[in-house]
Structure 1
Amino acid sequence: MDRMKVAIHHRKGSFSDRWIEYLQEKNIPYVLLNAFDNDIIKQIKDHKATHFMWHFNQNYFEDMLHAKNLFRSVNQIGIKTYPNEESYWHFDDKVAQKYLLEALEVPLVKADVFYHQKEAEKYIEKTSFPKVFKLKGGAGSINVKLVKTKQEAKKLVNKAFNGGFAAFDSWAVFTDTIERFWRQKTRHNFLRILKWGFKGIFVDKQYKVFPKQRNYVYFQEFIPGLKYDIRLIVIGAKCYYLKRNTRDNDFRASGSGMLEFAPGQFNLEAVDIAFKAARKLNMVSVAYDFIFDSEDKPLMVEISYGFQPVVYDRCLGYYDADLNWHEAKVNLEYEIVHSFLNDF
């Protein structure tokens, strides 16, 4: 690592907090740069950086507008990036992930996508309900709806090919936060209600600058009886585990805040699928959401290179590729930067 130098776009509260700690501990040269500077390419060159890292976030419009173009340009001059192109091209795009996972032939929840209203309407007449309607982007199940009838589906299709959908449903965030408060009833969550109610609905223009989602519809098969899903994160030779329970009288687990970290009884084939898919995907870090059908078969729902920082500190260990469990202290940000700098 003598000739290595890492350039980092730092945002407090992101992966980069601990990336910096890791580099300092290992005495690896690094420099903090602003990815949005007009001369960022020149700065990277002038600092003779060999690696460039940026934990860009789907909730920031400027990130989604700029990051992929910058990463691709930096790659052109031989600088390695986190995330790499295999990781970022489908980030926060459930439609892109559908095609990718179908190409890799991993077991996944069947999804149907249509780009013309007439084709979508023909599909509605032939298919069965309920179905799960999703927009391309959005975390925490915010842009996810259960469609129970043909009539509901027709309304969604009509809106998709006419007015379109807001990319961020601030009201859904607000109501979800209220639901979580009543379930947990803590001062912390009460303050979150005030924060999201004020910020998400009345003040924050950040989410309102995203363009409307229109001219496509995405319907996913509904798997009945779900009580939870599992999040598996593969980084290098380790697979980390988290269980997310569904909300009361709801099929959604992502964003519920009802988490379990001890590895319970579940079909370990999911871990094997996660490792095998990671090798094909060539991603430094990949987070999978899995559900299980009535026969306990694991089905992949979606993937992401990134995830919520700090939450996973509560994980109790990891699985190896032979599906053995190892108790260990978990620091996923350290694992990411270590794997990245060592060519994972």
Structure 2
Amino acid sequence: MKIAIHHRKGSFSDRWIEYLEGRNIPYIILNAFDNNIIRQIKENNVSHFMWHFDQNYFEDMLHARTLFRAISQIGVKTFPNEDAYWHFDDKVAQKYLLEALGVPLVKSDVFYHKKEADEYIESTSFPKVFKLKGGAGSINVKLIKTKDQARKIVKQAFGRGFEAFDSWTVFTDTIERFWRQKTLHNFLRVLKWGFKGIFVDKQYKVFPKQRNYVYFQEFIPNLTYDIRLIVIGDKCYYLKRNTRDNDFRASGSGILEFVPGNFNIQAIKIAFKIADQLNMGCVAYDFVFNTDNEPLIVEISYGFQPYVYDQCTGFYDASLNWHESKVNLENEMIHNFLKQ
């Protein structure tokens, strides 16, 4: 067994490397973007290739799936695997996948022609939640309250389109977080993301505009939080994300709780069941609860922000029992991956 890792400081790979070194497991650092990467993989007899590719890097999204699909043809196992990466950061793809599996999810509608989208607006009720395919932290999410607002959204979707990176939302969310939690960390975050929000970092400028489709999701009123459940192997980790003040969005709020409180634990059961069907190795779910307190999936992902989940206080097992323990999700990822 020979592990190859594409390393980016501050990603999952920091701890993957620590895990391998601590156990004297042979590994090699490879640059996935090298022109001769296939030759390097063959010459080094690589059996497993790990890369925490990120939706915020255009070059990652352009290249990772292609490389992984190619090397899987010569028997190299990848993390994430194809079942995890084909729909990564694509809410529309996830809609079709989850509908195919028949799992409980927030109802979503997508249209690829303006005529059908206009007809939908006239026949449905509002508010609705408008989203682009990609984006984390709710940056490409808007509440559409009226038919007139929806018509404008549709006109733009089938016209000039939308920037893939909503810089203004990033800027305003960062300012809001700073005023709510006046810490040095958040002040530095204001400087960093405020700059990105105003001027737009060059890495975001290369993403193509989003156009010629429109995606609406049912609005569930009176939401004050969602829960993020992460299933890796036989463990399920819990995080509660509270909404911003006077806002329906929980993702990206930074208002987090790590100790499980009262919630419909059926969400844990659903998360384990679907993990087997998805075959992703690591799957993070965003759950909300409707007016009948039934858990509904909003979206899924193999990747998420590192280190945040160190504050989790334990995990659920498949029998829905809670176990207090120290949490290191990156270690769980690589441990379960290398068992394959």
| TM-score normalised by the chain length of structure 1 | 0.98
Instruction: Specify the SS of the correspondent of 1:44.
Output: helix
In the TM superposition, 1:290-305 aligns within 5 A as 290-305=287-302
The letter for the 2-side match of 1:270 is A
Give the corresponding residue for 1:214.
Answer: 211
Deviating more after overlay: 264-273 vs 192-201: 192-201
What is the CA-CA distance between 1:201 and the residue it aligns to? Answer: 2.7
Instruction: Specify the SS of the correspondent of 1:58.
Output: coil
Give the corresponding residue for 2:153.
Answer: 156
Q: Does residue 244 of structure 2 align to residue 247 of structure 1?
A: yes
What is the CA-CA distance between 1:191 and the residue it aligns to? Answer: 1.9
Give the corresponding residue for 2:167.
Answer: 170
Q: Give a deviation string over 1:156-186, Cα, whole Å, max 9, x none.
A: 0000001000000111111100000011111
**1: CA distance, partners of 2:253 / 2:191:** 18
Q: CA RMSD in A?
A: 0.7
- Identity among equivalent positions (%) equals 78
**2: CA distance, partners of 1:302 / 1:295:** 20
5+ residue gaps, structure 1: none
Give the corresponding residue for 1:101.
Answer: 98
What is the CA-CA distance between 1:200 and the residue it aligns to? Answer: 3.8
Q: Does residue 64 of structure 2 align to residue 70 of structure 1?
A: no
Give the corresponding residue for 2:307.
Answer: 310
Aligned residues: 340
The letter for the 2-side match of 1:16 is S
Q: Does residue 40 of structure 2 align to residue 43 of structure 1?
A: yes
**2: CA distance, partners of 1:295 / 1:199:** 40
**2: CA distance, partners of 1:104 / 1:50:** 31
Question: Is residue 229–residue 284 contact of structure 2 (8 Å, CA) maintained in 1?
Answer: yes
Q: Hey, which bits of structure 1, 4+ residues long, moved more than 6 A?
A: none
Give the corresponding residue for 2:53.
Answer: 56
The letter for the 2-side match of 1:224 is P
Q: Does residue 208 of structure 2 align to residue 235 of structure 1?
A: no
The letter for the 1-side match of 2:161 is G
Give the corresponding residue for 2:187.
Answer: 190
Instruction: Specify the SS of the correspondent of 2:231.
Output: strand
What is the CA-CA distance between 1:190 and the residue it aligns to? Answer: 1.5
**2: CA distance, partners of 1:190 / 1:178:** 9
Question: Is residue 169–residue 197 contact of structure 2 (8 Å, CA) maintained in 1?
Answer: no
Q: Does residue 182 of structure 2 align to residue 181 of structure 1?
A: no
Give the corresponding residue for 2:122.
Answer: 125
What is the CA-CA distance between 1:202 and the residue it aligns to? Answer: 2.1
Of the three residues 313, 323, 337, the one matched with 2:334 is 337
What is the CA-CA distance between 1:26 and the residue it aligns to? Answer: 1.3
What is the CA-CA distance between 1:197 and the residue it aligns to? Answer: 1.9
Instruction: Specify the SS of the correspondent of 1:212.
Output: coil
Give the corresponding residue for 1:277.
Answer: 274
**1: CA distance, partners of 2:54 / 2:2:** 24
**1: CA distance, partners of 2:185 / 2:96:** 40
Of the three residues 3, 6, 26, the one matched with 1:6 is 3
Question: Is residue 167–residue 200 contact of structure 2 (8 Å, CA) maintained in 1?
Answer: no
**2: CA distance, partners of 1:16 / 1:200:** 27
**1: CA distance, partners of 2:204 / 2:198:** 10
Give the corresponding residue for 2:256.
Answer: 259
What is the CA-CA distance between 1:203 and the residue it aligns to? Answer: 5.8
The letter for the 1-side match of 2:98 is L
Question: Is residue 243–residue 253 contact of structure 2 (8 Å, CA) maintained in 1?
Answer: yes
Instruction: Specify the SS of the correspondent of 2:110.
Output: strand
